[in-house]
Structure 1
Amino acid sequence: MDNPLYIHINELAHKTEITVRTLRYYDSIDLLKPSSKTEGGHRLYVEEDLKKLQQIQFLKNMGYALKDIQEMLSDASWNWEHSLRNQLDYIVEEQQRLKSMEVSVREMLHSLVLEQGNQHEAIEKLIQLSRPKAAKLKSLREDLFSRDEQELWEKLPRMQGSDPHSLEWIALLGQLKSHMHEPPACDKVQNIIRRMMEKQQEDFGGQDDFLNKLWDARKSAETSEELGLYPLEPELIDYMELAYDVYIMNQGGHNDER
């Protein structure tokens, strides 16, 4: 009978890109025992051990815990279909959890832009934003806006959005807030307002009734909260309104598109 071809632990680690430390750990928990050892105590593996290691890594990449993998590979009666369906359910739930975390992190990043890096203010406002109930939001929007206007609502920028539209609006509001110590008529502020007006025309051209209703809602902290709009300080709302008025006046009295 031919002697088995042994693979030294260092060679196995190199072949599989798994560290020697990990292989030693697998040995210590009886997940992957070496087939033999050298006189100096170095672990030796055979081709079957390599195949088992590949199976371990394959199952590990599917999200299984090492304890479960040990049972799966040692229990001949293991119900693979049941196990895989359970694992799939877990992965879907985990994806939903991670998606929710992604939304929260994105909202926090965008809120920091608006709040000039004030993390305490950003957190407080996001907590406030999370309070409205979906059913109440839907009812209030239906009361305030027509069916066509409710479709326009879906085009509004979102704090959790990653689209260029939302990101630009967040940046513009953050810039405007950073210049509140300056006169509304100064060039920096008017350039921001000009871009806001351009975006309004790009996204909501000809929808003045909707924009006016939205602005009226924005000016009420209570209505804004009930609609699920990101909280803006009354001082910022007033400053924005003054800056808009200056812009409109400089444009020769065009229709207010707020």
Structure 2
Amino acid sequence: MKLKVKEVAELVGISVRTLHYYDQVQLLSPAKTSSSGYRLYAEADLEKLQQILFFKELGFSLKEIKKIITSPSYDVEEALLLQRKMLVEKRKSVEKMIENLDKTMKHKKGEIYMTKEERFEGINFRDNPYEQEARERWGDTPVDEANANLGNKSQEEQDHLAEKWEMYFRKFAELRGKSPDAAEVQEVMREWYDFLNENFTRYSLEAFSGLGQLYVSDERFTKNIDQYGEGLAQFMSEAMQRFAEKKK
């Protein structure tokens, strides 16, 4: 039995927009269509989607996933074994953090004593998945530049940046009922572009457009952005594409 895109979205628990995006970037493009022109997902397509989502959960970028699953040497069974091994390691890491939280609560109650070192057991921010993905997409220089810019700012300046960051997401949330092409939306998008370039790193229009695509292609980003309003990530992504196209 073949399923339409809406049925697959409901089955899997992801958005129709995400499936459309996978089709757009040729990551998952069902070959079959109904007489009405709807995409139809067969069993092989669902198997491929499962692989994509497993890799995404493990922190792989869509670009990496596409390379992996289109490789002539790609073997599904081998991939499943590797994914299981990586998920087990991830589970161990999460269990360590839960254990740390339990100990911390006991420490707060005075039931046990934790040293400074013990408080941070199981917590590792040395490998930032967002930073790694940015390096893969745009190279080391922009990321190093952004880190240096933040490192040179005082705590007060960083707090001010965080406030402005929040302000822009709230602004876009208020505007998301309008067209991404609307003059008012594009004016705020210009401010957002300038804000990122002035305070973090210099984004080319191509990199800015790529950042917008990441907002919808990576569910971690989508989830964080949509906290400000449902559908905000998609709205901002489309507005960023329009901005980049108009400025080229």
- The structure with the larger Rg is 1
TM-score, length-scaled by structure 2: 0.34
